[in-house]
Amino acid sequence: MSLSLIVVLLLTLVAEFANGLTDAPNAIAAVISTRVLTPIRAVFMAATMNLVGALTTGTAVAATIGTGIVRPEAIGLHTVAATLLAIITWTTLAWRLGLPTSETHEMLAGLAGAGLAAAGTSVLLWAGWQKVLIGLALSTVFGSLSGFLLMSLIYALFRRASSSYAKKVFGRLQLISSSFLAFSHGSNDGQKFMGIFALALVLGGVLPEFRVPVWVILLCGLVMGLGTMFGGWRIIKTMGFRITRLEPPNGFAAESSASLAILLASSFGIPLSTTHTINMAIVGVGSTRRFSAVRWGTTRQIVIAWILTFPGCAVLGYVFALLLEPLLG
């Protein structure tokens, strides 16, 4: 391995750790806020199911990231390094502010910006960006609508049940739905940095063609779990407590809706934002009580952060690529 490749691989692991700080906590925010699981047990469950999801659901999303967004033959290690620095910079800022940011969109925007700096507009692959647009629709429209509909169905079926009975039943069911969400997170979001890691190995000459070795899956999954364990609480507080009040039935509906959307995307190799999906599912669930049940001030801050992510990370990726080209190009 060259020194340039080692630097890029280390940056990938740092970015994966940052992903654990701000993105992986999305999978356990609801189950902690409803007090079905303690934070320590929830983190252990999420780390385990994330890894299982990444190991057992193929590598279609990793392939989309590694070969479908920009032309691999037109970029170099400095392009990947610039993408990772854009992710790390933006994620750290969002984490300091306690905002759940989308590493998916950071990665896509940073890779596009760095690719443009390296080879111009011809580097972008439209087929991959079509999947990105589909992922946006799934995370926002499907996430919120399915959350609203499922919660409405639960209210209709359990309208005569006592509050204590509903909490007991859905407290048990939420153990399943939170595990399901962590599994689906691993099937999609967990694969993205594995795709970047494998892409760097190809560009560095270690792999003759793009594939994701099992040791890469295990390494990235472990690092992401450590990030969640050491710093995920800031995002958990925003997701689980500041958007709307969640009880076990609400948590079950939000987690189940988000999981279905994420697994659907993973099966087609669509990179989808777990942050967007679970956030919009929580908003949809909260809206079933009344419109004002959602804290729209917090939601507006999150949405603004999402909107700024694409241009912000694209610019960062572009600038970092220009700076790194003399060193790693």
Q: Identify the CA nearest to 62 among candidates 242, 198, 222.
A: 198
* Contact present, 106 and 310 (Cβ < 8 Å): no
For residues 85-93, average pLDDT: 89
Tokens of 322: 């220009």
pLDDT grade, residue 282 (50/70/90)? confident
- What pTM, to 2 d.p., does this model score? 0.81
Q: How far apart are CA 129 and CA 135, in angstroms?
A: 10
- pLDDT tens for each residue of 101-153: 778 889 999 999 999 998 898 999 988 899 988 988 888 888 889 999 999 99
